[in-house]
Amino acid sequence: KNLGNEINTEGRETFPFIADSEVLYFASDGHPGLGGLDVFATKIDNLDDIFVVNVGAPINSMEDDFSLIINDSSKKGYFASNREGGKGGLDIWYTTIEEDGFGDPVNITSINTLQDEITPFYHSASSTLYFSSNGYMGMGGHDVYQTYKSEDGFMEPSNMLAPINGSFNDIYYVLNDEG
C-alpha cells in the first residue's frame, strides 16, 4: 500500500525498517532535514494518522545518514553515514538506545574500509552483523559480509559468497528471528 504524501515526497524515500515497536524508520532527502539523506520515523499502528518526524541529532548529521535498523534485544541501532569522523566513504555506525533517545554514534572501525559499507542488519540470535561493502575483495559491486560480535568488538568480516553474492550489487541482506 502506498503510504501517501505524509511519507512520500518528490525526493527519495528509501531504506525502510519497521521496528518491533511499530515504528517505521526510513531515509529521505525530501523532508526537511539536517543534511542530504536523513533518518525519519513514524508510528504505523494507525495509517490514517501519520506524523513524520526527523529523528535529529545525533543520528542525523550534515551529511548522508540512512539505513537505520533497531535491534530491540541489544538496545542498539546500526546505520550508514558519510559523516565526519568516518574511516572511508560510507561507514557503518552504531548507537545505543537510551530512555531519552539515541546515544552518540560510534564508528565500527574494525569493519569499515576506505570505500563504502552500507545496509547493516544485526541478527541478535546469532550475534551477527550483516552489511554490504565494495571495499573488500569481492565477487562484484557491493557484496554481503558477516561479522560476529565478541567481547572485544566485531571480528574480521567474511564474504558470504555465492549464492548470496554475485557479480552485481548485493545489498539489504536480512534474516528472520529463526535465521
HEC sequence for 72-130? CCCCEEEEEECCCCCCCCCEEEEEEEECCEECCCEECCCCCCCCCEEEEEEECCCCEEE
The residue behind cell 574494525 is 110
Residue 72 reports pLDDT greater than 90: no
Average pLDDT over residues 69-75: 89
Identify the pLDDT of residue 105.
Answer: 98
Identify the pLDDT of residue 149.
Answer: 87
Q: Which three cell numbers stand for residue 115?
A: 570505500
Average pLDDT over residues 160-173: 96
Distance between CA atoms of residues 163 and 29, nearest Å: 33
Is residue 120 within 8 Å of 69, Cβ to Cβ? yes
Identify the pLDDT of residue 178.
Answer: 79
- pTM (predicted TM-score): 0.94
Identify the burial level of 29 via C-beta atoms within 10 angstroms of its C-beta, where 0-12 means exposed, 13-18 middle and 19 or more buried. middle
- State pLDDT tens for residues 99-140: 999 999 999 999 999 999 999 999 988 889 999 999 999 999
DSSP summary character for residue 156 = P
Average pLDDT over residues 136-153: 93
